[in-house]
Structure 1
Amino acid sequence: MILFLSIENRLIAQHKDSFAVQLFTEVYASSVPNQPFNKLRPAFQYNYTKANNAGVNMSLARVHFSTQRFRTNFGLMAGDYATANLAAEEPWARAVFEANVGIKLSNKKELWLDAGLMPSHIGFESAIGRDNWAATRSIVADNSPYYETGLRFSFQPNAKWYMAALALTGWQRITFAQEKKHPSFGTQITFKPSSKFSINHSSFAGKAPYSFASVNRYYSNLHTTIQLHKNLAMFICWDIGIEYKPNAFRKNATWNAWNAQVQYKPSGSKWQFNARYERFIDRNTILFELPEQIYHQFNVHHTSINIDRLLGKGFLLRAEANYQSSPYPIFRKDTRLTYRQFSAFLITSYNFQYSKKR
């Protein structure tokens, strides 16, 4: 488990100064029997993007410092994730994982104001592969924000509740798009009554990331984690997005995603297992430009099974079998299109942690 002390953790602040360093790298090899001619996985996947090849998904260097009233995080990265997911950003920004500072606004209450580039408040999955139950990302995770830039006002009255309101530069944007300077907004509420159950709702309201500014996007993410047994846990989420076009003939377009995962960790073992099922429906292809078949809708079933093995201090080896299918031909097979795609992955990562408190 990643122990890096960052604002993502949303823990009650420590009264001691703390300093932490994280060095993380993740490499992978993939096998795709469809043999896509461009040697790439589908364009709606922004991690582990190479097909029938090996690559570095992420190399990350990250530092954290905090006192009782101040905290800051900074991280630099490289790899397939940065190349694919930050392609729309300015070249200088594509290597920045996070850069933020926070100030505590109250002596007695956990009331914070954070500013800068931060991990997204939306979703269960992280850009850091090691933090996630499944070895590869869900479609819904790859197509909702991994990061955001702006201001976050957060309040944690106790260990059970966490609340935040955000003013952002846009839908996963480091800087404002040149053609529009309107802020976007977000909210988050997390309730964790015990170590065995938590539920979270996150929302976004703002302009869609297009070249025209008249499209409004509204997004909701609801997810829960349940500890069914000391060795068995379940995660369930539902995402829905709506775009409203005031001057269009069809004013509203909606997409939905459902995602469920089950994780099993035997007691005292270095092995862990995860199974996932996901359904993603985007009838108006709002999020995706389908290859050559622009009149099809995006409608995908996604299943995967992964087996993980802890190899030693900091090392993790993961193997995953991944299957996607659609009623429409949206996957590449050689130079043609087909209805399904199987992929296999072997992923290994190393994570170095150093932290000090005084």
Structure 2
Amino acid sequence: MKKIWLFSLPLLFVFSLSGKAQTIDSLKIDFSGFIESYYAYDFNTPTENQKLPFMYNYNRHNEFNINNALLRVKASYENVYASFALHAGTYVEDNYAAEDIKWVSEALVGIYLDKKRKHTVEMGIMPSYIGFETAISALNLTVTRSILAENSPYFMTGLKYQFQLNDKWTFATFFTNGWQRIAKPDKSALPAFGSQITYKPTEKAVLNWSTFIGDEPTEFGLRTRYFSNLFFDYQWNENWRTIAGFDAGMQKSSVGDKHKKWFSPVLIAQYTFNSKWQSAFRTEYYQDENNVFINVNDIAFKTFGNSFNIDFSPTKRLKIRTEARWLKSQEAVFINNNEMVNDNFFITTSMSFEF
């Protein structure tokens, strides 16, 4: 993997020297990147390397670090295109811990099947089709990700077919290696199936419904997982924007025909003061009684959360953000000075730059 990194950096640097886009005959190459540094302080003063075991971003306590640094090259030729991206940071260390290929964020090839580009096929490592929050934090309304987003896929590896019916409706189907997988851990499992329906009634509104069905490996063998993500994103006016989301899933239990279930509603409201200043408030709830995703020593995870952030953008490519976040659980699932407590408060400050 180090050889790939060392080989790719000079190549990306050459592209960057000559501008954002290069055209050779009908070959077009675009170069872009993103880097985000951060400092986080958890008032529960954790002693472990990670603040919280179910968070994968900004997850270092009382430490300056890099959350995500990404370099991407996109190439297109006639009706074919490809994208390749490398990344590094604590987000990669935590979120790709189970993968052998950690430093590749994106590696896919796509083709438009018709002249109007309504039918598209892609294959490779691609961003997840589930949810409204991405690994590029500058695109998200809040600094940290919702518990909902942190415990659903950030990436997928597989095949995607997309059909854009018109400006309002887009449909897609997916066959993947499973729930946030690059390598498939159990080769006997069939490819997981996913779907996505996106409806844009106006330029200011997006309604999205994504699903996942697949067999996931557990200590008791393969167990079928069913999952649904629904969100509505609406820009009310030049000041207000809201996102309402809801996740629900179930997975076959290791005993009998019962299923382990989890769900999470979230509401985010963003207010834009002017071109430089924004703020956002989030309220959320996450319930995982059977510890499918959040393992807290067989204690039912039922947690409310609130956060508030202030964003300052001195230029359109630079963003400085600070967020205060409080989590409150019905049970004592957090650790403070080696004691179990039912709440957690932490502050995160980040600085990011896109190019």
Flag whether TM exceeds 0.5 (same fold).
yes
Contact 1:167 1:186 in 2 (8 A): yes
Cα gap change, 1:184 to 1:213, in 2 (>3 Å): farther
Cα gap change, 1:272 to 1:218, in 2 (>3 Å): same
Distance 2:221 2:112 in 1: 35
Q: Show the counterpart of 2:201.
A: 193
* Other structure's SS at 2:218 match: coil
Of residues 119, 131, 138 in structure 2, which corresponds to 1:130? 138
Q: Show the counterpart of 2:72.
A: 62
Moved over 4 A (4+): none
Q: Give the number of the structure with larger relative contact order, counting CA–CA contacts within 8 Å between residues 6 or more apart.
A: 1
Identity, % of aligned pairs?
Answer: 35
Map 1:272-287 to 2 at 5 A.
Answer: 272-287=278-293
Contact 2:192 2:213 in 1 (8 A): yes
Of residues 71, 77, 86 in structure 1, which corresponds to 2:96? 86
- CA offset digits 1:12-50 (Å, max 9, x no partner): xxxx86432112111110111211122531100011110
* Other structure's SS at 2:44 match: coil
Q: Which structure 1 residue ranges, 5 or more long, are not aligned?
A: 1-15, 353-358
* Other structure's SS at 1:214 match: strand
Give the partner amino acid of 1:261.
I
Cα gap change, 1:111 to 1:28, in 2 (>3 Å): same
What is the Cα deviation at residue 123 of structure 1? 0.3
Cα gap change, 1:209 to 1:131, in 2 (>3 Å): farther
Contact 1:207 1:213 in 2 (8 A): no
Distance 2:248 2:291 in 1: 14
Contact 1:56 1:80 in 2 (8 A): yes
- CA offset digits 1:230-280 (Å, max 9, x no partner): 2101100010011024x613621110000110011124x300111101100
Contact 1:190 1:199 in 2 (8 A): yes
- CA offset digits 1:288-315 (Å, max 9, x no partner): 221xxx2310111111000101123521
- CA offset digits 1:204-233 (Å, max 9, x no partner): 000124355431000000000112222101
* Other structure's SS at 2:93 match: helix
* Other structure's SS at 2:149 match: helix
Give the partner amino acid of 1:19.
I
Comparing 225-234 and 130-139, the one that deviates more? 225-234
Distance 2:27 2:118 in 1: 16
Contact 2:309 2:321 in 1 (8 A): yes
Map 1:212-227 to 2 at 5 A.
Answer: 212-227=220-235
Q: Show the counterpart of 2:128.
A: 120
* Other structure's SS at 1:145 match: coil
- CA offset digits 1:180-214 (Å, max 9, x no partner): 34210000000001012110000000012435543
Give the partner amino acid of 2:353.
Y
What is the Cα deviation at residue 108 of structure 1? 3.5
* Other structure's SS at 1:175 match: coil
Distance 1:71 1:162 in 2: 20
Contact 2:186 2:217 in 1 (8 A): no
What is the Cα deviation at residue 334 of structure 1? 1.8
Distance 1:250 1:103 in 2: 42
* Other structure's SS at 2:92 match: helix
Comparing 168-177 and 28-37, the one that deviates more? 28-37
Of residues 47, 54, 73 in structure 1, which corresponds to 2:57? 47
What is the Cα deviation at residue 332 of structure 1? 1.3
Contact 1:171 1:206 in 2 (8 A): yes
* Other structure's SS at 2:326 match: strand
Distance 1:18 1:320 in 2: 39
Give the partner amino acid of 1:26.
E
Comparing 280-289 and 205-214, the one that deviates more? 205-214
User: Does residue 152 of structure 1 match 2:144?
Assistant: no
* Other structure's SS at 1:186 match: strand
Of residues 249, 252, 277 in structure 1, which corresponds to 2:256? 249
- CA offset digits 1:122-151 (Å, max 9, x no partner): 000001111111011111111000000000
Give the partner amino acid of 1:169.
N
Q: Which structure 2 residue ranges, 5 or more long, are not aligned?
A: 1-25
The count of residues paired between Structure 1 and Structure 2 equals 330
Distance 1:167 1:346 in 2: 37
Q: Show the counterpart of 2:14.
A: none
Distance 2:328 2:146 in 1: 14
Cα gap change, 1:209 to 1:318, in 2 (>3 Å): farther
Q: Show the counterpart of 1:176.
A: 184
Map 1:1-358 to 2 at 5 A.
Answer: 18-90=28-100, 93-178=101-186, 180-245=188-253, 248-249=255-256, 251-267=258-274, 269-290=275-296, 294-352=297-355
Contact 1:318 1:348 in 2 (8 A): yes
Cα gap change, 1:160 to 1:68, in 2 (>3 Å): farther
Contact 2:279 2:311 in 1 (8 A): yes
TM-score, length of structure 2 as denominator length: 0.89
